Structure 1
Amino acid sequence: MTEDPEPAVNVSGGQAGGGVAAEFDPATADTRAEHVVDRLGELYWQKRYGGRDAFTCLVRTILSQNTSDKASQPAHDALIERYDTTDADLADTLAAAEQSTLAETISSAGLYNQKSRVLITTAEWVVSEFGSATAFDEFVTEKAPETVRETLLEVRGVGPKTADCVLLFAGGRTGVFPVDTHVHRIYRRLGIASPDADHEEVRTVLEEVVPAKKCGFGHTATIQFGREYCTARKPACLEDPDACPLGDRCDQVGVYPATEDVVDPAETLE
């Protein structure tokens, strides 16, 4: 691949991007979900992820919760500038951070008081359990994915999507398909997951029917697709049936072009 159309600023890699190019052959797709992921590969990029620093990735993903990359990226950059010094471990500096100062630093991310408390608590946990951010990175990259995920989920403020992003972008684990609001909406709207499936049920379905090497890319590309085409309130198919590149693969669950109504897929069961 000679060009990389992936946005450089996003949770998958921050300002530097992330991942390495990979080739997917749509002709080999065995399931509808795999066809969808391959179609997104033709539309956007194809990547395999891994190699990010685990604690920095954890911090970045916490900052991204319930906000956009546009808002959370400046908060991440400001945090790194203030707290990531060459002579100190980032986990140590955040564990010792004054909460109000940290909150002010990350204010662009939204929910900054809550997130600052979560970041301090998480840093304290990393220092207590592993000793340093470096040791935490070794844990994420070397231990069994199930062990890493279960351990992260024990930390207050760390949910399944955050844990899975650390496994994917830092640990480079294949077969991990993090589910955010875009992924949750789109694969239920497509009809690949049940209309009333929760985030964990959608993740289970996708990790069963999408090949492991395509899961990470499927996550990031689906988010981009959700931002550009399959938005929550005004999906592209409302204005033009041919405007959506996945139109021939979609059941349009909860989308009613005739009336221009759009509801959460779960509401179609009521």
Structure 2
Amino acid sequence: MSDDPEPAVNISGGAAGGGAAAEFDPATADTHAEAVVDRLGELYWQKTYGGQDAFTCLVRTILSQNTSDKASQPAHDALLERYDGDDVDLAESLASAEQSTLAETISSAGLYNQKSETIIDTAEWVLEAFGSAPAFDAFVKDEDPATVRDTLLEVRGVGPKTADCVLLFAGGRGGVFPVDTHVHRIYRRLGIAPPDADHETVREVLERDVPAAKCGFGHTATIQFGREYCTARKPACLDDPEACPVADSCDQVGVYPATGEVVDPADAPE
């Protein structure tokens, strides 16, 4: 289990953030995916989403790409300490940043040269397209979610997960289920998405089968479940089928307790 579990109540974006509490009852779930999210609702916490500054959230998500929170959080903190402050537009500050200095500042996040270039390019785009970080924040919170997503996906270095995290954590939009590596692995392993589904297909399945009010929670809770139980190389069911809280809802695609073998669901024999 994790040495740093999520607290019983964890409000993402502050108590004033958007969203509403959902009821988690696997017995009344309409789909397999909803039943799993409801089971995680019994296991973990309930969150309220929205309220984060959109550009800060975008930068934070870029830093998190291809690395852990443990590595990316110090980089984010160091970036804000150097480039943010009272009466400072973070987009303006980063657009004018020296790339080598920014790279050094965020080095703990890995791929720091690439990420520093992406952050500077993104800051320049925000200023060109919206004029300021606050104007970008208003766009994310007020514009049609599909328009926001499509707009973000046009930016170099911003993929579907990053765009969806901005919509969820800054925009507080219901019905958004960002797909990271944990979510991609787990819902194919469970048999909810096809074994060979790409990230976008998994997202489409989940946003179709999980009620909008539960999607944000489903994303964050699945990540915690993936860290604690359904890890990539050694899921809890290998040692004890009863150790996994969703064992009775799992097809174990690519997991073979009899031999201890674990493969990506896409590589599991049909």
Alignment partner of 1:137 is 2:131: no
Whether the 8 Å contact between 1:253 and 1:268 is mirrored in structure 2 is yes
Deviation for aligned residue 1:25: 3.4
Q: Secondary structure at the match of 2:61?
A: helix
Partner of 1:61: 61
2:29 is aligned to 29
2:76 counterpart residue number = 76
CA distance in 2, matches of 1:6, 1:182: 22
Tell me the alpha carbon deviations over residues 45-83 of structure 1, each in whole angstroms, 9 at most, x when there is no partner.
Answer: 122311111000000000000011111000000101110
2:178 aligned residue? 178
Residue 254 of structure 1, CA deviation: 0.1
Which runs of structure 1 show a deviation greater than 4 angstroms over 4 or more consecutive aligned residues?
Answer: 18-21
Distance (Å, rounded) in 2 between the aligned partners of 1:19 and 1:218: 16
SS at match of 2:88: coil
Task: Say if 1:48 and 1:214, in contact at 8 Å, map to a contact too.
Answer: no
2:234 corresponds in structure 1 to 234
Aligned length: 263
Is this contact kept in 1: 2:177–2:203, CA < 8 A?
Answer: yes
- Greater shift after overlay, 43-52 or 65-74? 43-52
Counterpart CA distance in 2 for 1:87 and 1:46 is: 34
Q: Secondary structure at the match of 1:47?
A: coil
Residues 1-270 of structure 1: pairs in structure 2 closer than 5 A: 4-5=7-8, 22-26=21-25, 27-269=27-269
* Separation in 2, partners of 1:258, 1:4: 35
The answer for unaligned runs of 5 or more in structure 1 is: none
CA contact (8 A) 1:21 1:46 kept: no
Q: Match for 2:146: what amino acid?
A: E
What TM-score results when the alignment is normalised by the length of structure 1? Answer: 0.93
Distance in 1 of aligned mates of 2:68 and 2:253: 25
Q: Is the 8 A contact 2:22 2:213 kept in 1?
A: no
Q: Which runs of 5+ in 2 are unaligned?
A: 1-5
Report the aligned-residue RMSD.
1.8
AA aligned to 2:231 is T
| Change over 3 Å in CA distance of 1:13–1:73 after alignment to 2 | farther
Verify the 8 A CA contact 2:9 2:47 in the aligned structure 1. Answer: no
User: What's the CA shift string for 1:219-268, capped at 9, x where partnerless?
Assistant: 00000000000000000000111100010000000000000000000001
In 1, are the aligned partners of 2:196 and 2:266 still within 8 Å (CA)? Answer: yes
After TM superposition, the structure 1 stretch with the greater mean CA deviation from structure 2, 20-29 or 108-117, is: 20-29
Whether the aligned pair in 1 keeps the contact of 2:22 and 2:214 (CA below 8 Å) is: no
Sequence identity (%): 80
Question: Once the 2 structures are TM-superposed, how far is the Cα of residue 269 of structure 1 from its aligned partner?
Answer: 4.3
Shift of 1:21: 6.6
CA distance in 2, matches of 1:28, 1:169: 28
Counterpart of 2:221, as a letter, is A
CA distance in structure 1 between the partners assigned to 2:47 and 2:88 by the alignment = 32
Alignment check: 8 A CA contact 1:174 1:212 kept: yes
Distance 2:18 2:232 in 1: 28
Deviation at 1:5, TM superposition (A): 2.6
